[in-house]
Structure 1
């Protein structure tokens, strides 16, 4: 009887460990990363942080290989793999903590997500969509202080928990319907202005059809609806109108556009 009890205990432990791994991979947990909530309103500053991360190497790569539409020249990018690897090594050698400011944490994880996504496409040059790659968002790929984080974990387990919905317009999933990849690295000293720029550009782009009586929105607003409510009585329109050039009338029905997962390749 003791043997059976021990076996059942081992099975229970194994199931528990597997469940924890799945939760982490899927982005339910923070994967051991800090989830410092953003103080509203967010300001851009390099002060009050134990670390100021240098993202200049990533910045130079973005300016070189991303065009004004946010499309990436992946073929040419292959030539500078050593520089990308060096930047990812730099990030991997850091250990983010709550001693970092929310500005530094936002910039770090947004840049990490975007750089690892570019690396993923460069590792799979024949794909026509990131969804053609095995477990693109749930497999551990991003190296941080000896740990492997999944892209889904960075987005859902870290960035979304920081209470800053504009991150949805900063991270890029290498797809046509994603927000364009910004042609500059995010930095603590410019983070608020950069997030505002990315949000305004996306909401007022052709990826949304907005008029006084029309609100056909990107499916991003469907995927992460509650992130954008923020006390608005469960309506997306107050958030849209905060950034839209054309104000949508209250009560306008909201629909969602089909998502194009085709590769954001030049």
Structure 2
């Protein structure tokens, strides 16, 4: 009986420590984004001169392990982790004009985070998209380029995640993500929608249906859809 009690006590202590670490991660990520992001742009010059705050957050994140069963914490952790690691990757190569200037930036460079060694692509495509059918991820995962949806100056938090996903998706759909020509009934959208078409055409929807789910002024009737080129220029202030 004493052994069982000891084991339970150790397990509860471990769970409590993990929860504290996760809260610390979210709080420090929030402070970092608030200090270094404005109008969707990142203060890379400032971070490069003093990277200790970013490195501290990523060190905390290194030992955190979140189960996908705990969906909101899992999603919030990995969305923030992705956005922080993109910044880390660009800082490691700074000054730079684009993440694409560095071979393997998304698919080869590995980071120790969340209790595993992983790439940016693995976070996006396996941990997030691979576990959850959630097209709104595309509006909060920021690849460090102007063509990406804008990075917000807050952390994504489990208790506000759904509202944040919804808000950023609406901003994109009603903003620079699409270009509408009402005279010719043509709509151009970001290449994100071309690359991940399967995410935007679930449950019998096509791309226009998805757009209309979030667009204030609906696209009525038939529209010709095309894609405009992605701008891979770094999203620096």
TM range, normalised to the smaller chain?
0.7 to 0.9
Q: CA deviation at 1:147?
A: 2.5
1:123 counterpart = 2:92: yes
Q: CA RMSD in A?
A: 1.7
Q: CA deviation at 1:132?
A: 0.5
Q: CA deviation at 1:211?
A: 5.7
Counterparts of 2:50 and 2:77 in 1: how far apart (Å)? 21
Match of 1:72 in 2: 42
Q: Give ranges in structure 1 of 5+ residues lacking alignment.
A: 1-49
Q: More helix per residue: 1 or 2?
A: 2
Match of 1:230 in 2: 202
Match of 2:9 in 1: none
Q: Is the contact between residue 130 and residue 263 of structure 1 (CA under 8 Å) also seen in structure 2?
A: yes
Three-state SS of the structure 2 residue aligned to 1:246 is coil
1:156 counterpart = 2:128: no
Q: CA deviation at 1:141?
A: 2.5
Q: CA deviation at 1:140?
A: 4.0
Q: Is the contact between residue 237 and residue 250 of structure 1 (CA under 8 Å) also seen in structure 2?
A: no
1:84 counterpart = 2:54: yes
Q: CA deviation at 1:143?
A: 1.5
Three-state SS of the structure 2 residue aligned to 1:217 is strand
1:264 counterpart = 2:228: no
In the superposition, the TM-score normalised over structure 2's length comes to 0.85
Number of residue pairs matched? 214
Q: Is the contact between residue 116 and residue 141 of structure 1 (CA under 8 Å) also seen in structure 2?
A: no
Q: Give ranges in structure 2 of 5+ residues lacking alignment.
A: 1-17
Three-state SS of the structure 1 residue aligned to 2:112 is strand
Match of 1:208 in 2: 178
Q: Is the contact between residue 107 and residue 191 of structure 1 (CA under 8 Å) also seen in structure 2?
A: yes
In the superposition, the TM-score normalised over structure 1's length comes to 0.76
Three-state SS of the structure 2 residue aligned to 1:83 is helix
Q: Is the contact between residue 210 and residue 246 of structure 1 (CA under 8 Å) also seen in structure 2?
A: no
Counterparts of 2:80 and 2:115 in 1: how far apart (Å)? 18
Describe how 1:30-69 pairs up with structure 2 within 5 A: 51=19, 53-54=22-23, 55-68=26-39
Q: Is the contact between residue 34 and residue 153 of structure 2 (CA under 8 Å) also seen in structure 1?
A: yes
Match of 2:8 in 1: none
Three-state SS of the structure 1 residue aligned to 2:110 is strand
Change (3 A) 1:160 1:109: same
Q: CA deviation at 1:246?
A: 1.5
